[in-house]
Amino acid sequence: MSSPLLIAMRNPVIRTSMIAIVLFGFSGAATSPYQSVVGITELGLSDGFYSALIFAAALFNVAVSVAIGIVADRVGNYRTLMLAVILCGVVGYGAVYLLPTKGSFVLAALMLLPVHGALNPLLFAYVRTAAKDMGGRHAAAVNSGIRAAISLSWVLVPGLVGLVLSARGSMLPAYLLASLGCLANFVLVLRLLPEKTGVDGALGKRLSFLASFGEILSLRVLARLLAIALISSMLHVTAAVLPLIVTGAAGGKVSDIGIIVGIVAFLEVVFIVVWGRIQYRLSHIDALALGTAIYVVNMALLGLSTERWHIYALTLISAFGAAALISIPITYLQELIADRPGLGSSLISVNVFLGAGFGAALFALGTRISDYSGTALLSSLAGVAGLLLLLFLDGDGRGKASAS
C-alpha cells in the first residue's frame, strides 16, 4: 500500500499543490515567530494595540476564508482565487519590508495577510477535488501528506531565519523572504496548476451567501465544530503553558524550551504521515478519538510534571497525539459539507479561530483558579468534553456523512 507522500508524488496536480503549500508554509514560518518583534519592538506598536490587531486579523481571516470558499464553489474553480490571495501575500509582506511603518504593518497584518491566509483552505479544497476519485481513505492520506508539508516548513524555517538575521539587528528582511516565497508560489500556480472544477456550478449558484453561512451555523455543523474546537484548544493551551511549566514546575532552562519544541515539531512531521496510514484501517472518527485520547493523557501528564526529564519523556506521546489533532480534523471538517469543497474547507479556518478562542479562555480561567500545571489539567478536561461530544454525535459513524 502506498504512503500518502507517494500517492501525492504520482499525481502531478497534487504534487504541485504540495509544493504550493510548502511555499505558503515558508512565508508564514519565516515571519510569524517574529511578527510581534517587528510590530512592537521595531515599529513601536503598543502591546494593547498589537493584541487588538491580531484578534481583529484572526476574525477577518475567518470571514474571508468562508467568503472565498463560497465564491470558489459558486464559480466552480479555485486557481484564479488562489492567484488573487497569493498576490495579497506578495504585496502585504513586501510592503512591510519596503515601507517599514506602523501604517504599512497594520494594513498588511489586518487585511492583506489574512486574505493571503485563505490560501490554506483553498489549497486543501483544490486537493480534495483532485483526490475525490481516489476514495475517502486515500484522500485522507493525501491530506495528511499535505499537512506534513506545512509542518516541515515550521521545523526548518524559523530557526534558519532567526540564525541568519539575528546578527543584522532587524527581523524586517524576513518579510522580504516571505514576499519572495509568495512570488514563487504565484508563478508556480500560474504556470503549473490547471483550472479545477470543484462542484456543479448550478449547485453553487443555488446557494446564496446567507444560505451558505446558514449551513455553517446549522446545528449539525455547529455542534461538530464545537467538539473539534474543544479538542483543538488543547494545542493552543500547550503552546502557552509548556514554556512556563518547563521553566517553572519542571525546573528547566529557557534553552530546554527550544529543544523540546524542536523535537516535537520534527516528530509531528513523521507522525502525521503515520496517522495517514492509520486511517486506512480506522475511520476518521475512530482515528481522531484515539489521537484525542492520547493527547488528553499528554496534557494530564504535563500538568503533573515536576522534573525536566518528565517533559522530555512526553515529547513522543505529545508529538503522536498532536499529529492526529492537526491532520485528521481537516478531512473530518471537509466532509461536514462534502458536496461543497470550498465551503467545507473554510471550516478549517473557523476551527482554528474557535480553538484559539477556547484555548485563550481556558488559559485565563486556569491561571485565575490555579497555576500553569493546573491549567494543563483543566485543558485535558476540555479535551475529554470535546471527545465525548464527538463520540455522542458521530460514534456510530454518522460524522462521515456529508451535508444533508
State the cell numbers at 70: 463560497
Neighbours of 110 (CB within 10 A): 16
- pLDDT tens for 282-321 read 888 999 999 999 999 999 999 999 999 999 999 999 999 9
| pLDDT for the residue numbered 281 | 86
Which residue among 206, 235, 258 closes a domain?
206
Q: Are residues 350 and 361 in the same domain?
A: yes
User: Where does the pLDDT of residue 403 fall: very low under 50, low under 70, confident under 90, or very high at 90 and above?
Assistant: very low
Q: What is the DSSP string of 202-220?
A: HHHHHS-HHHHHHHHTSHH
What whole-number distance in Å separates Cα of residue 35 and Cα of residue 118? 19
Nearest to 329 by CA among 307, 359, 351, 313: 351
Which residue among 156, 179, 206 closes a domain?
206
What whole-number distance in Å separates Cα of residue 386 and Cα of residue 377? 14
> Is residue 64 within 8 Å of 118, Cβ to Cβ?
yes
Q: Which residue segment(s) compose the domain that 299 sits in? A: 208-404
Higher-pLDDT residue of 187, 34: 187
Q: Work out how many domains the chain is built from and give that number.
A: 2
Q: Are residues 300 and 257 in the same domain?
A: yes
Q: Are residues 182 and 141 in the same domain?
A: yes
What whole-number distance in Å separates Cα of residue 65 and Cα of residue 57? 12
- pLDDT tens for 356-380 read 999 989 999 999 999 999 999 999 9
Q: Are residues 299 and 372 in the same domain?
A: yes
* CATH number for the domain that contains residue 224: 1.20.1250.20
- What's the length of the chain? 404
Cell 454525535: give the residue. 393
Nearest to 187 by CA among 25, 28, 19, 342: 19
